[in-house]
């Protein structure tokens, strides 16, 4: 098996698809009746912490036995024992039964270059590609939260920017074997769930590549 596909033998894709389908269904249920307690007006940490709790509350009834975590602290240590690279993951699902650990990184996306860079840059995708997030795992979920599903201008501009060679210097794409494209759309890893996929080389971590599926989760005003 080539380097491009080596991660597949270690990743329970069907189990991951079931988890992502549950996440999308729960989001749609909550976002359809936006309120002062769950809506676009909240900042990202409040959205993700409240969403995580809803996922956890409904998890057993949906057939999931794993654990949901939000704002989970991760860090490395220097030789002298001092903590370094302290980060908090937005939402993580862990299932020992399915041998699955799936990290979701949520970013509010607007028609702003700063918001786009927060998504693909060091504070977004870069946290995975540097090995800070999911260092032992080959797959993660980037989530773009948008205000209105009827207007996806911000998503189109993000994808256009991510096709820029300048961004490739930051994220080091692995082109699709069939098309040569960096953005693989529609998603093949999370069909009918994610908007697109991207694969990247990664120097730090258990695998030489890292695959993302990119979800777009809208509020419904």
Q: Are 124 and 161 in contact (CB under 8 A)?
A: no
CA atoms of 14 and 20, how far apart (whole Å): 10
CA atoms of 139 and 78, how far apart (whole Å): 26
Backbone angles phi, psi at 213, to 5 degrees: -105, 140
**Quick one: which of 108, 111, 106, 112 has its CA closest to 125?**
106
Q: Are 122 and 79 in contact (CB under 8 A)?
A: no
CA atoms of 56 and 59, how far apart (whole Å): 5
Q: What single-letter DSSP state applies at residue 154?
A: H
Read off the pLDDT of residues 46-89 as tens digits, 9 standing for 90 and up: 999 999 999 999 999 999 999 999 865 454 555 665 545 545 67
* Predicted pLDDT at 75: 46
Q: Are 101 and 91 in contact (CB under 8 A)?
A: no
Read off the pLDDT of residues 175-212 as tens digits, 9 standing for 90 and up: 999 999 999 999 999 999 999 999 999 988 789 999 99
* Predicted pLDDT at 72: 58
pTM for the whole structure: 0.92
**Quick one: which of 170, 202, 187 has its CA closest to 6?**
202
* Predicted pLDDT at 76: 55
Q: Where are the alpha helices (DSSP H) in 60-124?
A: 113-120
Read off the pLDDT of residues 129-181 as tens digits, 9 standing for 90 and up: 998 899 999 999 999 999 998 889 999 999 999 999 999 999 999 999 999 99
CA atoms of 55 and 58, how far apart (whole Å): 5
């Amino acid at each position: 098996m080539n380097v491009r596909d080596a991660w597949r033998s270690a990743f329970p894709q069907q189990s991951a698809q079931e988890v992502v389908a549950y996440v999308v269904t729960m989001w749609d249920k909550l976002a359809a009746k936006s309120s002062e307690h769950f809506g676009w007006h909240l900042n990202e940490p409040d959205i993700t912490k409240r969403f995580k709790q809803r996922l956890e509350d409904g998890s057993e009834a949906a057939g999931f036995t794993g654990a949901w975590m939000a704002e989970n602290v991760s860090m490395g240590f220097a030789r002298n024992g001092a903590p370094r690279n302290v980060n908090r993951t937005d939402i993580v699902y862990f299932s020992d039964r399915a041998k699955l650990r799936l990290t979701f990184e949520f970013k509010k996306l607007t028609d702003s270059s700063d918001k786009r860079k927060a998504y693909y840059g060091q504070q977004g995708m870069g946290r995975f590609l540097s090995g800070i997030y999911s260092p032992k795992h080959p797959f993660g979920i980037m989530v773009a939260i948008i205000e209105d599903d009827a207007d996806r201008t911000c998503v189109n501009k993000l994808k256009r920017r991510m096709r820029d060679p300048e961004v490739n210097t930051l994220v080091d794409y692995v082109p699709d074997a069939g098309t040569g494209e960096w953005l693989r759309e529609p998603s093949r890893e999370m069909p009918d769930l994610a908007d697109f996929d991207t694969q990247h080389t990664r120097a730090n971590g258990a695998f030489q590549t890292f695959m993302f599926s990119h979800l777009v989760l809208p509020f419904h005003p």
